[in-house]
Chains A and B, each alone.
Chain A
């Protein structure tokens, strides 16, 4: 069990509990919470765990501040979407499209890394910002290929299409439809990708990344050619982000700049990693779950609270569902206040101190 987790112990009982809860919740989600919305949210959590974890390799482990993680996410998504929208079909097309998107991401990340990792960190961040913006504009303007702002809608392979039923009768009360199958495929790939990333950050290479984050000058003085490590970290992170993007395309059955390339998405990823705890990978998983859940369920939760507190003065106004973003902000401030190193980071530090 610990080997599967690359001997990376959570280090605190509460963190272990949260992670087990997250895993069990994701595994059982379609049965526990029926309905298309719950399924879509669960799939989004699985995908964003991969995306946020890939970003944590950069930000949390290596100390590279990039704003182009959505660009790779988008490349993966459009890689799958474009051939399917052009009318090609079948799993080979999906695999080929994903491979093309991931391949393009690896190349772009390598070029970016070699061109700009030598410049000062702040300039590198600015360059990534420009590239992210450029990708967004390109996707919006190149209508012939990307469908512009509207994006692309397409048909996915039959096995995961909405009309498909694996068995004639429901299983444990749940019809095993295409989206349910898609969900479990996404969950399996996400879990495998997460465990692979966990292995990489606990490998000798991953240790060098931490050394670079802690003290790049000393890492260099030990004989590590840090530009190579940083380039490889960027390439790996880009590859996993593109994989997440490909899964997002299949899950949504459409792809547009908003769902894959927007700047607010980049901010979401950043928040997931920071709130969860940078440089732990587990934190990225928790952060992804927390943020996605809040984005989808905070508003209905507030609506319910407002209804419950109907007679009481002030409260209904406070719980106005329109204020959900405000409440999200309050939750973030509280989390950051009580968990200064993020949830996983702070729990881990407490576990060590105990």
Chain B
């Protein structure tokens, strides 16, 4: 997956400014940058939530810049959200089942009962076990703690079995003991060695532990790109990013 001179302007300001960058299977790329750097907007451009002003997104050799959100997901782009974006009145189990069902392309079965699709229900259950939400399966999503909502977000992404995982600050706002749970889930995807993983993250220790590569966005521009140790050491990164405080966004 790669972007080519990808840009979007909101008014006069370019939120993402001519970013060209390729991402590879088996690699976890951390995306860092101060608040408002354009990280989430960059994700929105890749997953199709907003349309690019100019530039292209390529995925598996095809240009996908003109495709809608659903079409991109169906091709294997898995987008996670920074702000909680679930089905609030539906149960945890049903949230996950919906993602499993989407991946199985069974959305136009009208005359069978959802409860009879035992394979899907079993898969949803297995995913909830995996992310540690099995005990909360019957709870409605809106009643979950913030940390559990973040875990459910990861569960939905796993259910889609994407080629590309995009995590947007998956651990933000989580309690200290919950953070490792989510990081372990990401590490498990990484161990697969076939998935392309993009991770927006502020915490340097997380980046050091997980990232194979770090790119720095600043005012919409790609400022640096390289191995974690190198990038963190760059003076202009210290100035642009660390200099502005490593506050959580």
Contacts and interface: CB of A to CB of B under 8 A. Distances in A.
B108 interface: yes
Interface string B80-118: 010001111110001001110111001111111111010
Contacts of A210: 87, 90, 94
Interface string A194-215: 0000011011111110110011
B98 A207 contact: yes
Contact of B110 (A203, A217, A220, A222): A203
A204 B110 CA distance: 7
A106 B230 CA distance: 63
Contacts of B87: 210-211, 214-215, 218-219
A225 B73 CA distance: 10
Interface in A225-261: 225-226, 228-229, 232
B82 to A, nearest CB: 13
Contacts of A221: 47, 49, 69-70, 73, 79, 81, 85
B6 interface: no
Given A221-B47, A221-B69, A223-B160, A205 B107 contact: yes
Contacts of A214: 87-90
A347 B89 CA distance: 16
B114 A222 contact: no
Contacts of A7: 113, 115
A204 B107 contact: yes
A223 B85 contact: no
Contacts of A215: 85-88
Given A202-B114, A204-B112, A214-B89, A222 B73 contact: yes
Contacts of A225: 68, 70-71
Contact of A223 (B88, B97, B103): B103
Given A7-B113, A206-B114, A218-B86, A224 B102 contact: yes
B31 interface: no
A218 B117 CA distance: 22
A228 B97 CA distance: 20
B238 interface: no
A6 B160 CA distance: 27
A215 B149 CA distance: 15
A248 B108 CA distance: 31
Main secondary structure of the interface of A (DSSP, over half): helix
Interface string A59-99: 00000000000000000000000000000000000000000
A6 B114 CA distance: 9
A214 B117 CA distance: 22
B156 interface: yes
Interface in B44-88: 47, 49, 68-71, 73-74, 79, 81, 85-88
Nearest to A203: B110
A225 B86 CA distance: 17
Contacts of A207: 94, 97-98, 101, 114
Given A211-B90, A215-B85, A223 B115 contact: no
A296 B199 CA distance: 63
Contact of A220 (B68, B112, B113): B68
A200 B110 contact: yes
Nearest to A279: B89
Contacts of B89: 214
B26 to A, nearest CB: 24
23 contacts: A202-B114, A203-B113, A203-B114, A204-B108, A204-B117, A204-B120, A207-B97, A207-B114, A208-B98, A214-B87, A215-B87, A217-B49, A218-B81, A219-B98, A221-B47, A221-B49, A221-B69, A221-B79, A222-B99, A224-B107, A225-B70, A226-B70, A228-B108
Given A208-B98, A215-B85, 5 more contacts: A203-B112, A207-B101, A221-B49, A223-B103, A229-B107
Interface of A: 6-7, 199-200, 202-208, 210-211, 214-215, 217-226, 228-229, 232
User: Can you list the 3 inter-chain pairs with the closest CB atoms, starting with the nearest?
Assistant: A223-B73, A214-B87, A222-B102
